[in-house]
Amino acid sequence: MATTHGAAHAGQTRRDFLFLAAGAGVGIGAALTVWPFIDSLNPSADVLALASTEVDIGKVPLGQQLTVLWRGKPVFVKHRNPEEIEKARADDSASMPDPQKDAERVKKPEWLVMLGVCTHLGCVPLGNQGPYGGWFCPCHGSAYDTSGRIRQGPAPRNLEIPPYAFLNDTRIKIG
């Protein structure tokens, strides 16, 4: 009696094991098969290759802004005048959603380089507008100050600073 019971029990566990192993194998196989299809939607090699842009900033007059395209996104290169720099620094300790000092956002105070992409839902903010004298996003009303920091509206973060470097006094390389 005991042996029969044991044998039946053993058969049962072996079958269970095979069942679970086969199930797991099918599951993992399905996941591995699906992955190439999902990953094919990610940026392709040629898109990833468009890494950097060089910009001549020598001709941007004081107070004006140049907009260039980098990786399909607009980048603002703003030649700030002393009042704007002054205003940005004065607000360094004001309360804001994403606190940052103006000095952390620039390499040279008169040149503010940042992505012209609203951190809310990606519209291009308009320059010299809004209650803080910086940028104003027409889409849902986010207002940025003269340092590109978010001060009011639904956007959660300051305008992003892309990686860039000054090649000389009049040329920068973005990316």
Partner 1 sequence: MAFQSDNKVIKWIEYRLPIFTLLDHAVGTYPAPKNLSYWWNFGSLAGLMLVVQIVTGIVLVMHYTPHTSLAFTSVEHIMRDVNYGWLIRYIHMNGASFFFIAVYFHIFRGLYYGSYKAPRELLWFLGIIIYLLMMATAFMGYVLPWGQMSFWGATVITNLFSAIPVVGESIVTLLWGGFSVGNPTLNRLFSLHYLLPFIIVGLVILHIWALHQHGSNNPLGIDKKDSRDTIPFHPYYTIKDLFGIAVFLLVFSIFLFYSPNFFGEPDNYIEANPLVTPAHIVPEWYLLPFYAILRSVPSKLGGVILMFAAILILFVLPWLDTSRVRSAKFRPVYKQFFWIFLANCLLLGVVGAKPPEGIWVLIGRLATVYYFAHFLVICPLVGWFERPRPLPTSINEAVLPKAAAAAGE
**Active centre residues (catalytic):** 140
Element (H, E) at 144: strand 143-145
# of chain residues touching ligand FES (CB under 6 A): 13
Adjacency order of strands within the sheet including 126-127:
126-127, 133-136, 143-145, 150-152
CB of 22 to partner 1, least distance (A): 31
CB of 79 to partner 1, least distance (A): 18
Name which position in 123, 128, 133, 161 contacts ligand FES (CB under 6 A).
123
How many beta carbons lie within 10 A of that of residue 25, not counting itself? 10
Element (H, E) at 6: helix 2-39
Element (H, E) at 35: helix 2-39
Query: Which of residues 61 and 72 has its CB atom nearest to ligand FES in the complex?
Result: 72
Q: Which stretch binds ligand FES (CB under 6 A): 38-46, 79-87, 102-110, 114-122?
A: 114-122
- The helix/strand/coil state of 8 is helix
Query: Which of residues 68 and 112 has its CB atom nearest to partner 1 in the complex?
Result: 68
Is residue 42 at the binding interface for partner 1, with CB under 8 A as the rule? yes
- The helix/strand/coil state of 32 is helix
CB of 61 to ligand FES, least distance (A): 27
> Two tokens at 39?
């990953």
Q: Cα 34 to chain center, whole Å?
A: 27
Is residue 57 at the binding interface for ligand FES, with CB under 6 A as the rule? no
Per CB under 6 A, which of residues 133..162 are in contact with ligand FES?
137, 139-142, 153-155
Name the residues that contact ligand FES, by CB under 6 A. Answer: 118, 120-123, 137, 139-142, 153-155
